[in-house]
């Protein structure tokens, strides 16, 4: 069997910016002294006159991005999720969100899979923060192909966008002809007993879990929600109505993230039980990324175990 290609979505982000620089001359990239880690260094090498290193000053970077957007540029402000969403939240809210400026925020190293950097750098709250900003689009792609298409889709739309990327390499499961649309989810697997709604790095874990559950007679539908805001209400409502049980899977706090967004839709459209699988309102810890996913029950084994425990009750 051929080995599955794995690419970190932060790498795909950097490659996409470098590839799209020629097509979009108004594209400008900003970074906060982390270009080697966020992979924006590839854009810097090709277009040094359109790259701004703001230093370790994330709030200032967001202000500069706002100014560039006001002048007609398409700025991508890049840093770790902890610093982009956490440290610079007030500037994003008031200087980007409030005037609804065309700023794109590339937040890398999100979630507990940051690994050995530990709890201070493992941002599991950023989706919750960004969802609450009026008019902010929140995107979390799941693999290399989806990421590159999402970056171009963000360039083409008008308004602020928060894009969440991971450090850990993710299996590439989309094909090059994959059609990406902001606000629309993807049905990856049919199922009739329950629905697994996943996002980002954990989409492939949800797919693997569904395959294992099938061997035990449990038919699980799998949906990829790459746009957490605006979320695909129609697809989620249909899954609730047709499978009568929803499980959300995310590398984020269960409060305010994908699970909360899905639960809101289900409560308003077709009330059925929703079980949220994610960081259970706790901080992460230092350790190898794959081992941390296992420890917090976010791998395929953990998902299967949680599903069976819940159905057993």
Catalytic status, residue 58: yes
For the segment 77-105, what is each residue's pLDDT rounded down to a tens digit?
999 999 999 999 999 999 999 999 999 99
Instruction: Tell me, yes or no, if the two domains 6-171 and 186-312 fold the same way.
Output: yes
Instruction: Supply the pTM of this predicted model.
Output: 0.96
Confidence of residue 4 (pLDDT cuts 50, 70, 90): confident
Confidence of residue 218 (pLDDT cuts 50, 70, 90): very high
CATH of region 186-312, choose from 3.40.50.10240, 3.40.50.920, 3.20.20.150, 3.40.50.20 = 3.40.50.920
Q: Which residue has the tokens 């009026």?
A: 134
**Is residue 39 left, alpha or beta, with left meaning phi > 0 and alpha meaning psi from -120 to 50?**
left
Q: Which residue has the tokens 């979320």?
A: 231
Distances (CA, A) of 88 to 94, 95, 268, 276: 10, 10, 32, 28
Catalytic hit among 15, 58, 146, 250: 58
> Regarding the domain with residue range 6-171, which homologous superfamily does it belong to in the CATH classification?
Thiamin diphosphate (ThDP)-binding fold, Pyr/PP domains (3.40.50.970)
**Domain parsing of the chain, residue ranges:** 6-171, 186-312
In the chain, % of residues over pLDDT 70: 99
DSSP codes joined into one string, 59-97: HHHHHHHHHHHHTT-EEEEEEEHIIIIIITHHHIIIIII
Confidence of residue 313 (pLDDT cuts 50, 70, 90): low
CA-angle at 292, arms to 256 and 109, nearest 5°: 60
């Amino acid at each position: 069997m051929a080995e599955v290609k794995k690419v970190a979505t932060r790498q795909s982000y950097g490659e996409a910016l470098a590839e799209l620089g020629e097509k979009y001359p108004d594209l400008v990239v900003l970074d906060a002294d982390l270009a080697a880690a966020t992979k924006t260094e590839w854009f810097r090498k090709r277009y040094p006159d359109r790259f701004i290193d703001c230093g370790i000053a994330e709030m200032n970077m967001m202000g500069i991005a706002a100014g560039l957007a006001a002048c007609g540029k398409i700025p991508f402000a890049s840093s770790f999720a902890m610093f982009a969403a956490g440290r610079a939240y007030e500037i994003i809210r008031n200087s980007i969100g409030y005037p609804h400026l065309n700023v794109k925020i590339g937040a890398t190293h999100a979630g507990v899979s940051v690994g050995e950097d530990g709890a201070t750098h493992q941002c599991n709250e950023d989706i919750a923060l960004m969802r609450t900003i009026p008019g902010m689009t929140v995107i979390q792609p799941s693999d290399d192909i989806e990421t590159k298409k999402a970056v171009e889709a963000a360039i083409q739309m008008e308004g602020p966008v928060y894009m969440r990327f991971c450090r850990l390499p993710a299996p590439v499961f989309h094909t090059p002809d994959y059609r990406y649309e902001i606000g629309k989810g993807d049905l990856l697997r049919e199922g009739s007993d329950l629905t697994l709604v996943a996002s980002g790095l954990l989409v492939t874990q949800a797919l693997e879990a569904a395959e294992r559950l099938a061997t035990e007679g449990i038919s699980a539908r799998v949906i990829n929600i790459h746009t957490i805001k605006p979320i695909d209400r129609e697809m989620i409502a249909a899954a609730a109505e047709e499978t009568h049980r929803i499980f959300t899977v995310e590398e984020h706090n269960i409060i305010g993230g994908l699970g909360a967004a899905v639960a809101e839709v289900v409560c308003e459209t077709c009330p059925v039980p929703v079980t949220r699988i994610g960081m259970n309102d706790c901080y992460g810890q230092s350790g190898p990324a794959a081992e941390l996913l296992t420890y917090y029950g976010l791998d395929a084994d953990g998902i299967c175990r949680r599903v069976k425990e819940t159905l057993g009750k």
